[in-house]
Structure 1
């Protein structure tokens, strides 16, 4: 684990109110991976990841030095695109498919939350 991920004694805590890096590593959206590490984990070239950034599917965070940083969630999206490309799907089509899959998952989460809210409201109304 990089030294910046594990604060040493006397290390400064972030001034922006966020948790220290080591405490955010369980967050799927925390940009923990460098371009090289991300590419190695997904099994693609850095150029492939840059290309995904160009499609808008993945927008890596930039470090203070301007280097791309990727989250686990972004790596999962990249891996899904690679899977589709390996099956013969053109990259642009694979990115559209993955983007639509993500939108569908979000709609399903939103629907489930609205359903729960509706059930709670109905329950409260019955007990008034």
Structure 2
């Protein structure tokens, strides 16, 4: 569930020309990319109605692994925030954080197994 490793386009310091056009394209791609680590810890916590400590606990439990900026600050993607939001919902219902992380992991594994099963059924139907 880790995000991409380099959120900065390679030519981010270019002042114009082709580099600027490429930067604009990279920026548009980042807006559309659910895995782009766009949110600071404070903003991410605010968005899901949790504390920064809650996000750190999710990281410690291995549920989400935020990217680190060059300065060492945690950065979260929209995908990671959806996972953190689900964990917060479970914890708010009284589920211990470790159990919430396990539940979410199992839900993800089940979803993946169901997708794989559906693909196998589609292939089998196509062969008939």
Q: Same fold (TM over 0.5)?
A: yes
Q: Which has the higher contact order (CA 8 A, sep 6+)?
A: 2
1:40 counterpart (43, 46, 58):
46
Task: Using the TM superposition, give the Cα deviation of residue 36 of structure 1 relative to its aligned residue in structure 2, in angstroms.
Answer: 1.1
Match of 1:113 in 2: 119
Following TM superposition, by how much is the alpha carbon of 1:117 offset from its aligned partner in structure 2, in angstroms?
A: 2.9
The 1-side partners of 2:46 and 2:61 are apart by 20
SS at match of 2:32: coil
Give the direction of change, closer, same or farther, for the CA distance of 1:12–1:66 in structure 2 (3 Å limit).
Answer: farther
TM-score by length of 1: 0.76
1:82 match: secondary structure: helix
Q: Provide structure 1 residue ranges, at least 5 long, that are not aligned to the other structure.
A: 124-128
Correspondences of 1:8-87 after superposition (within 5 Å)? 10=16, 11=20, 13=22, 20-87=26-93
By how many angstroms is 1:83 displaced?
A: 0.7
**If the length of structure 2 is used for normalisation, what is the TM-score?**
0.76
Gapped runs of 5+ residues in structure 2? 1-7
CA RMSD of aligned residues (A): 2.5
SS at match of 1:20: helix
Is the alpha carbon distance of 1:65 and 1:28 closer, same or farther for their aligned partners in structure 2, counting shifts above 3 Å?
same
The structure-2 alpha-carbon separation of the partners of 1:119 and 1:24, relative to structure 1 and needing over 3 Å to count, comes to farther
Number of equivalent positions: 114
Aligned partners of 1:64, 1:112: CA distance in 2, in Å? 42
Give the Cα separation in 1 of the matches to 2:123 and 2:69.
39
C-alpha displacement of 1:27: 2.1
